[in-house]
Amino acid sequence: MVGPHDGRFAPSPTGALHIGNLRTALVAWLRARSLGGRFALRVDDLDPDRVRADHERAQIADLAALGIDWDGPIIHQRDRTARYDDAIAELVARELAYPCFCSRADIRAAASAPHGESADGAYPGTCAHLAPTTARARIDAGDAASIRVRVGSALRGFDDLVLGRVETVVDDFVIRRKDGVAAYNLASTLDEADLHVGEVVRGADLATSTPRQLWLADVLDVARPTFAHIPLMVAPDGERLAKRHGSVTLADLAAHGVNAHEALRLLLESLGEAVPDPAAPLARIVRDFDLTRLPTEDVMVNPAHWIAGTRPHTGTHRPHP
């Protein structure tokens, strides 16, 4: 049975987790544990050209170093491809999905054309009305095709536990890439339902993808989780943290004398939490954690200040949808 507060963290092993990723993982874990929920770790490893086993091992070690644990075995998306393929085949059979041969350049050109229907960034429906025989002939001739769902273009929304009402245009989005890999929205929707995730906590940059996932959950008749999208940790230039901003991973910080325990204290401070008793760093935080007390703006962090010990945090004013 799905618990309403069963949560998860789902990293992609394409590199080291930076402190922004770890902050999101910490919030997801605190939210689930504070309300008695289970917590799962899912590895989003569908892209064989980018994922690496050593990155996965390092990510797991970093989570453990912060005291983040999980229930049951680690789930890998690579083991679930048959499930994704079955769902895609179902949508195609129901005529709710179709092959698309458009490149990104094709879509940009359609958007910039006079009276283009994709001025709002939505897919213009170029391939939506191709006859099945025409599409099949192109595939047989070797043309690569993605698979898009047949939605049209409509404003859809949901109520987020942190951001409030979020609305965005849902178009005929991709559920399988041209290389045959299931797209994020399709895989994530099925994962949350099949793995009994009742509540998804993730970064606010993913909020606009959620109406797409909720549409998929409805048409596939699987459970809808609730969502909490938390404001991000950003660098002084206002952009999401990246390697160019300096020491942004636990390994980077450790090289400058900031150990995992101190990094945890810094992450908790960025969430507005008082620094816990060093002898039991998470016990009180778990007991008293309240999602509604989180900062409502992105938190600006200069990694150099963390190393120096000054560690100021200031909210930016970049709005989230």
For 89-131, the DSSP string reads HHHHHTTSEEEE---HHHHHHHHHSTT-TTTTS----TTTT--
Residue 26 lies in a domain: yes
Give, for 203, the enclosing helix (H) or strand (E): strand 199-203
Residues 94, 21, single domain; the answer is: no
Residue 277 has pLDDT above 80, yes or no: no
Q: How far apart are CA 250 and CA 103, in angstroms?
A: 39
Q: Is the dihedral of CA 147, 153, 154, 157 positive or negative?
A: positive
Mean pLDDT of the 7-22 span: 95
Residue 317 has pLDDT above 50, yes or no: no
CA atoms within 13 A on the CB side of 224: 16
Query: What digits encode the pLDDT tens for the residues 236-251?
Result: 888 887 777 766 899 9
Residues 158, 259, single domain; the answer is: no
Q: What pLDDT score was predicted for residue 59?
A: 97
Residue with tokens 């990094």: 263
Residues 41, 91, single domain; the answer is: no
Residues 126, 108, single domain; the answer is: yes
Residues 175, 144, single domain; the answer is: yes
More confident residue, 107 or 230: 230
Query: What digits encode the pLDDT tens for the residues 29-38?
Result: 999 999 999 9
Q: How far apart are CA 145 and CA 179, in angstroms?
A: 8
Model confidence at 278, pLDDT cuts 50, 70, 90, reads low
Number of domains in the chain: 2
Model confidence at 296, pLDDT cuts 50, 70, 90, reads confident
Q: What pLDDT score was predicted for residue 302?
A: 81
Residue 296 lies in a domain: yes
Residues 151, 72, single domain; the answer is: no
Residues 136, 125, single domain; the answer is: yes
List the Cα angle 36/212/7 in 5-degree steps: 10
Q: What pLDDT score was predicted for residue 248?
A: 83
Q: What are phi and psi of 245, to 5 degrees?
A: -85, 0
Round the average pLDDT of the chain to a whole number and report it.
88
The CATH number given to whatever domain includes residue 125 is 3.90.800.10
Mean pLDDT of the 107-125 span: 66
pTM over 0.85: yes
Residue 114 lies in a domain: yes
Query: What digits encode the pLDDT tens for the residues 33-66?
Result: 999 999 999 999 999 889 999 999 999 999 999 9
Q: What pLDDT score was predicted for residue 220?
A: 98
Q: What one-character DSSP code corresponds to residue 182? A: B
Residues 98, 109, single domain; the answer is: yes
Query: What digits encode the pLDDT tens for the residues 124-163?
Result: 899 999 999 999 999 999 999 999 999 988 899 999 999 9
Domain carrying residue 59: 7-78+196-213+228-315
Residues 206, 297, single domain; the answer is: yes
Residues 40, 104, single domain; the answer is: no
List the Cα angle 249/37/24 in 5-degree steps: 20
Residue with tokens 């290389």: 179
